[in-house]
């Protein structure tokens, strides 16, 4: 058995087919242990750390940070027995969709009729046939589309060379042309040893500057000539930042080059004309958590008929109850917030109105006898809604600890995909932003979501007198296919009643 092993991006569950390399936690040459976290990957669900399947020494890293990698694609190479001497030379991993190891590396086509190792329908380790995740092997002969007539890259028999196998130094624009030398026969390649190549090199035979399609589009919009740029990306590829820097240099130089680009009439230097359009725009890729959230919100908004009801309640007694809890010695190490009281109220109200805790399933309604309480959390990667499993069975202290752990994990970007699946109802706290209320959209598969507004001191009629009380507005959105106005109103009323007088409601409902 070979001591050199290539670690593929694993299936992280929930039907995910790709992930983005956020951060490498190891480097080439590092000695790692079994189950040591080696890379942080963001999927459409969350960012997760992936542990190593073997211990040993890192020989190669095949994808840089920021690259999108398909499930089943090799991402790192490990020598499982580094003490046995120098590792044998090994080529780069079979790359999905014909792409080479690092993003931006040009594809060298295989011989006619051959299917690249790792491509769908092609050979895979162990004599298997490479297939798409979730599908069986192809039963028909695989065909490769004909090569384009303007493809000048030499064939290498279907073997993609390593990154360092075909470098060529950029020639200066004024340098005289030199005769082309005949291509040397292919020789065994050394393993890839770094994911950050020298930015001054580009693959030989490409004939043009390396840049991804979005970067080329941006360059066309800004009027930047890619041929005159020295790229700072992998293999010398031009990045978005390179194009923006070149555009800024053009903007600075343009007022002195021609009157129509910014000078005042008469040729005298004046203020440059303010630029508008794409030069003052930023394009943020929609991927990962943000893409999944967008798809779910669109699906929910245009599938479930939403109704939103509002109720303003007096939370003065609930706030005093929280103060008493914080004063207890056993609660001093636990983070206690008003959201704890809202969560307890929602769980108790769901026990009184079980139809609210259900899901629409076409020809039937699935009523759930458990509450997986979701808590919406705003993170740097977008909004996620992890949930507390079987929250209805937890004591108030256990619920407080679970909510604190949930928020802490979400803020750190460590929420596992399983923690965001299976929610039955959700709370979203818009009050932390100073917002009074809103009309939340249901997470898919749920029938009720409660938005909690900011808690403010306001004049309130209390015991027939106007007093300064702490009040907030609750907004309940629900699926009108399951919950009619009467049921939704009763559910929201009971939540408000608990928050208005929590001690009395605990005695009455338990």
| Domain membership flag for residue 189 | no
- Token pair of 126 as six digits: 């162990």
pLDDT score recorded for residue 332: 83
| Domain membership flag for residue 301 | yes
State whether 158 and 204 are in the same domain.
Answer: no
Q: What is the pLDDT of residues 302-339, one digit of tens each?
A: 888 999 999 999 999 999 999 998 888 888 888 889 99
Q: What is the pLDDT of residues 183-226, one digit of tens each?
A: 444 444 444 444 444 444 444 444 567 888 788 888 887 888 88
pLDDT score recorded for residue 183: 46
Q: Which of 143-147, 315-319, 404-408 has the lowest mean pLDDT?
A: 143-147
Give Cα 507 to chain centroid, integer Å: 45
| Domain membership flag for residue 403 | yes
The crossing angle, in degrees rounded to 10, of helices 485-500 and 338-352 is 140
CATH code, domain with 240: 4.10.320.10
| Confidence check: pLDDT of 269 > 50 | no
- CA pair distance 317, 236, nearest whole angstrom: 64
pLDDT score recorded for residue 68: 84
| Confidence check: pLDDT of 152 > 70 | no
Q: Nearest Cα to 431, choosing from 444, 441, 440?
A: 440
- Residue that is written with structure tokens 């058995």 in the block: 1
Q: Where are the beta strands (DSSP E) in 217-367?
A: 306-314, 358-360, 365-367
Is there a contact between 317 and 500 (Cβ–Cβ < 8 Å)?
A: yes
State whether 140 and 250 are in the same domain.
Answer: no
The dihedral sign for the CA sequence 124, 126, 129, 131: negative
Q: What is the pLDDT of residues 82-117, one digit of tens each?
A: 877 776 655 555 544 444 444 444 444 444 444 455
> Which residues does 1 contact at the CB level (< 8 Å), separation at least 6?
none
State whether 101 and 241 are in the same domain.
Answer: no
pLDDT score recorded for residue 480: 94
- CA pair distance 191, 194, nearest whole angstrom: 9
Percent with pLDDT over 70 in the chain = 68
- CA pair distance 63, 116, nearest whole angstrom: 18
Write down which residue in 209, 242, 257 finishes a domain: 257
Helix and strand numbers, DSSP H then E, in the chain: 8, 21
pLDDT score recorded for residue 15: 62
Compare 271 and 405 and report the one with higher pLDDT.
405
| Domain membership flag for residue 263 | no
| Confidence check: pLDDT of 169 > 60 | no
CATH code, domain with 412: 3.30.559.10
Domain that residue 129 falls in: 1-164
CA distances in angstroms from 250 to 222, 227, 261, listed in the order given: 9, 15, 11
pLDDT score recorded for residue 253: 61
Q: What is the pTM of this model?
A: 0.55
Classify residue 420 by its DSSP letter: G
| Confidence check: pLDDT of 144 > 90 | no
> Which residues does 18 contact at the CB level (< 8 Å), separation at least 6?
43, 68, 69, 70, 71
**Catalytic, out of 170, 306, 351, 480:** 480
The domain total for the chain is 3
Q: What is the pLDDT of residues 360-391, one digit of tens each?
A: 998 899 999 999 999 998 887 778 899 999 99
Is residue 480 part of the annotated active site? The answer reads yes
pLDDT score recorded for residue 117: 53
Mean pLDDT on 38-49: 78
- CA pair distance 241, 276, nearest whole angstrom: 19
Mean pLDDT on 252-258: 52
Is there a contact between 28 and 59 (Cβ–Cβ < 8 Å)?
A: yes
β-strands 306-314, 465-479 pairing: antiparallel
How does residue 446 score in pLDDT terms, banded at 50, 70 and 90? very high
Q: What is the pLDDT of residues 353-366, one digit of tens each?
A: 999 999 999 889 99
> Which residues does 228 contact at the CB level (< 8 Å), separation at least 6?
173, 246
- CA pair distance 15, 29, nearest whole angstrom: 33
Mean pLDDT on 405-422: 85
State whether 210 and 152 are in the same domain.
Answer: no
């Amino acid at each position: 058995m070979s001591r050199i092993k290539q670690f593929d991006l694993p299936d992280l569950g929930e039907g995910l087919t790709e992930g983005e390399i956020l951060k490498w936690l190891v480097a080439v040459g590092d000695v790692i242990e079994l189950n040591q976290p080696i890379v942080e990957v963001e999927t459409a669900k969350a960012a997760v750390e992936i542990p190593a399947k073997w211990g040993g020494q890192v020989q190669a890293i095949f994808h840089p940070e920021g690259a999108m990698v398909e499930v089943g694609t090799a991402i790192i190479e490990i020598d499982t027995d580094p003490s046995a001497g120098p590792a044998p030379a090994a080529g780069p991993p079979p790359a999905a969709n014909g792409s080479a190891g690092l993003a931006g590396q040009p594809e060298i086509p295989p011989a006619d009729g051959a299917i690249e190792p790792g491509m769908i329908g092609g050979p895979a380790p162990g004599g298997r046939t490479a297939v798409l995740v979730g599908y069986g092997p192809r039963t028909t002969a695989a065909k490769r589309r004909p090569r384009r007539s303007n493809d000048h890259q030499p064939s290498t028999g279907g073997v993609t060379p390593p990154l360092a196998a075909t470098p060529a130094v950029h020639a200066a624009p004024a340098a005289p042309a030199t005769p082309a030398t005949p291509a040397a026969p292919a020789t065994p390649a050394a393993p890839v040893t770094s994911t950050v190549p020298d930015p001054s090199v580009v693959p030989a035979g490409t004939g043009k500057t390396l840049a991804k399609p979005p970067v080329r589009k941006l360059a066309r919009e800004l009027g930047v000539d890619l041929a005159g740029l020295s790229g700072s990306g992998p293999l010398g590829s031009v990045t978005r930042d390179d194009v923006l820097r070149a555009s800024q240099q053009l903007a600075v130089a343009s007022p002195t080059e021609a009157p129509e680009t910014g000078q005042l009439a008469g040729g005298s230097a004046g203020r440059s004309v303010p630029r508008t359009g794409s030069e003052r725009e930023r394009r943020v890729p929609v991927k990962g958590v943000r893409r999944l959230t967008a798809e779910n919100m669109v699906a929910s908004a245009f599938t479930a008929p939403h109704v939103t009801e509002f109720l303003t309640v007096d939370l003065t007694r609930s706030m005093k109850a929280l103060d008493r809890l914080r004063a207890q010695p056993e609660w001093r190490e636990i983070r206690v917030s008003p959201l704890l009281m809202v969560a307890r109220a929602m769980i108790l109200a769901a026990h009184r109105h079980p139809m609210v805790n259900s899901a629409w399933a076409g020809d039937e309604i699935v009523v759930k006898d458990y509450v997986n309480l979701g808590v919406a959390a705003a993170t740097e990667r977008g909004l996620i809604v992890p949930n507390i499993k079987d929250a209805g069975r937890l004591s108030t202290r256990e619920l407080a600890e679970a909510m604190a752990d949930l928020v802490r994990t979400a803020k750190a970007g460590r929420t596992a995909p399983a923690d965001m699946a299976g929610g039955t109802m959700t709370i979203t706290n818009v009050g932390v932003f100073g917002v009074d209320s809103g009309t939340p959209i249901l997470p898919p598969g749920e029938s009720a979501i409660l938005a909690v507004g900011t808690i403010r001191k306001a004049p309130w009629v209390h015991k027939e007198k106007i007093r300064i009380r702490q009040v907030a507005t609750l907004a309940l959105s629900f699926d009108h296919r399951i919950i009619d106005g009467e049921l939704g109103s009763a559910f929201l009323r009971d939540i408000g009643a608990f928050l208005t007088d929590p001690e009395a409601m605990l005695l009455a409902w338990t």
